[in-house]
Every structure is written in C-alpha cells, then in structure tokens.
Amino acid sequence: MTSLLDEFFKKSKNNQTDAEIITKGDRSQFDGEIKFKATIHGRVQGVGFRFTTNQLAQELDIRGIVRNESDGTVYVEAVGAEEQIDTFIKRLAQGPSPAAEVDKVDIHFDNSIKDYQRFSQAN
C-alpha cells in the first residue's frame, strides 16, 4: 500500500534508527485482532507526532487513540489486524513525524482495551 504521506515520513528517516521496543503482556492471548497500549518516549510532543500517528493509523485501518501525557510522553491505544499492528508498532518506533526523535516504545498487549470504532487524536 502506498501512503500519501510516504515522502513526508521518509524525509527525516535517512539518519534515524528505530527506537528500542519493550513488550509486555501475552500477544498469544488474541484470537483475531491485536490490542495494545504504548508509551512513546523521546522528543514526541510539539513535533506533529499525534497528527502523523493519527494519519498512519487511518491508513492502516487501526482503531484507537493517541494523546500527550503530562510527563512528556505520548500514549497510544490501538486495535487492529496483526499485520497492520506490526507495521504500526514499527512506525511508532521510527517516529511517524519527521521532527520526532523516539528513544523507546513501551508496548503492553492488553485484551481489556476497548473496541474502538475509529482512531482519534486527543488533547
């Protein structure tokens, strides 16, 4: 699938490496769709991270939320098909916004996350 924002995403990726991804929870608990919550650490506020995460989620047919936290991190809850979730997590670690610098992504697979109807950007 070709993204409308591919060029935008690629502009800053030449010199960036993927952030460390730390996973918790049992991914095998899911029969169909995968559900996770994530905390993204680094320079992720004030750089278009939520906007580009929202755009990426819509392109991948991921449902959930993205919001800024008071400690400077970004919080994500996401629900979607396994392949799309894997792509989404990888792109979160790369920083979907060219201005973002992601240091670490904490992923917690959690079946108690609600079934969202769409993806939205909070605060």
What is the rounded distance in angstroms from the CA atom of residue 50 to the CA atom of residue 59?
A: 14
Of 27, 68, 91, 111, the catalytic one is 68
What SS3 string covers 15-52? Answer: HCCCCEEEEECCHHHCCCCEEEEEEEEEECCCCCHHHH
123 labelled catalytic: no
In the annotation, is 14 catalytic?
A: no
For 36, 37, 42, 74, 121, the CA distances from 77, given in Å and listed in that order, are 6, 4, 18, 10, 11
Q: Which of 15, 43, 50, 54 is catalytic?
A: 50
Residues designated as active site: 50, 68
